[in-house]
Amino acid sequence: MSVNVMVLAEHTDGQVSDGTYELIGQARALAAALGGVTEVALLGRADLAGQLGPADVVVCVEHPALEEYVPEAYERALLEVLAQRSPRLLLLSNATIGLDLGAALSVHWDAPLAAYVSALEIDGGAVVATAQILGGKVLAEVELPGRRGIATLLGGAFGADLGAAGAGPEVVHVAPPAGLGALRMSLRSVVGPDGGDIDISAADLLVSVGRGIESQENLETVQELADALGAPLSASRPVVDAGWLPKSRQVGQSGLKVKPRVYLAFGISGAPEHLEGMRRSEMIIACNTDPGAPIFGVAHYGTTLDLFDLVPELVDKVRG
């Protein structure tokens, strides 16, 4: 058992993800507090180790099944890495890969897991996580008991560490486990984003709607405002899952990350997954009837007026 902190690197098309650097930044702070080092597990693409300057050690596993993310392949390879390196703590993204692997690793590696983590600290040797639950309305401060633990971290909640550790990380290789040759799943194809629709990530101004819109018919009201402003209509996940707007208009963790000059949010409460996608907007103006809505924690201006009262007035004023 070491006192090191390990991060699972995520990569797409040969690029280590921005979120990975956020994980490494947090891992470095924790490793310093524990007196350990920062290790990064890099699966399938040892050639990307050069992008992981801020890590102390990069642990590579090479196998054809690991070239793209396949849940079972990653799980088996990572369990092998965990068995050999025995870190004190494993940090994963609270996005697809963390949601996919976290709880299974918790069972197989026999370590407690905290999800939706927005802050982590070492308190007298104990690992203490703050998790945002119930759509960000409640924070839970939890201790991960025992000698190892797993945390899945919300994107955007931690600063990215782009610094390089002097001579660059030490690169070590772990032999691929035999289980990679007998997987119960295989990758058939990689599908890129749908093209053709407006690119909301390129807009200067976004008019965005959430659950508070209540019905598809009500979208017309907000569409009218978007038209008057010449801005695209975007949405949080519930609106897209209901089929009221296409996926290409979704802002958030499973949609697109946007940073327009102004983001107008109507009826969006501000679940962590949504905030991750828009908190870097230059200005955020939020309208939500719940004064406790988390969206007001990132907005610059807010109002608790009913959107159905406010939006028609906005349309009138914009049209002059």
Partner 1 sequence: MRIVVPIKAVPDLVEEIDLAADETGIDREYLTFVISEWDAQALEEALLLKDAGGAEVVAVGLADDPDIDQLLYTALAKGADAAVKLTGAGAAGPSGPSGTRTADRAALLAAYLDAQPADLVITGVQAADDLDGQLPSRLAALLDLPHVSVVIGVEVGGGSATVRQEFAGGRSHELQVQMPAVIGVQSARQAPRYAPITRIRQAMNAGGLSELAVPARAAGDGLVVRRVHRPEASGKAEMMTGSAGEVAGQIVGLLRARGLVKG
Alpha-carbon span 157 to 116, nearest angstrom: 10
Binds partner 1 by CB under 8 A, chosen from 1, 14, 124, 138:
138
Cα 65 to Cα 183: distance, rounded to the nearest angstrom: 9
Which of 14, 125, 166, 192 binds partner 1 (CB under 8 A)? It is 192
Backbone angles phi, psi at 24, to 5 degrees: -65, -40
Other Cβ atoms within 10 Å of 118 Cβ, number: 17
Strand pairing class (15-16; 38-43): unpaired
Q: Is 311 exposed, middle or buried (0-12, 13-18, 19+ CB in 10 A)?
A: buried
Of 85 and 211, nearer to partner 1 (C-beta) is: 211
**Smallest distance, Å, CB 240 to partner 1?**
8
- Out of 258, 264, 268, 278, point to the residue binding partner 1 (CB under 8 A): 264
Residue count, binding to partner 1 (CB under 8 A): 100
Contacts for 170 with CB less than 8 Å, ≥ 6 apart = 56, 57, 58
Tokens matching residue 159: 């600063």
Q: Which of 46, 205, 221, 280 is close enough to bind partner 1 by CB under 8 A?
A: 205
Closer of 104 and 171 to partner 1 (Cβ): 104
In the window 151-170, what residues touch partner 1 (CB under 8 A)?
Answer: 152
- Is 83 near partner 1 (CB under 8 A)? no
Considering only residues 19 to 78 of the shown chain, the ones binding partner 1 according to CB under 8 A are 68-72
Question: Near partner 1 by CB under 8 A, which window of 25-33, 57-65, 102-110, 156-164?
Answer: 102-110
Nearer to partner 1, 7 or 114 (CB): 114
Q: How far apart are the C-alpha atoms of 29 and 277, rounded to whole Å?
A: 25
* Minimum distance from residue 315 beta carbon to partner 1 (Å): 9
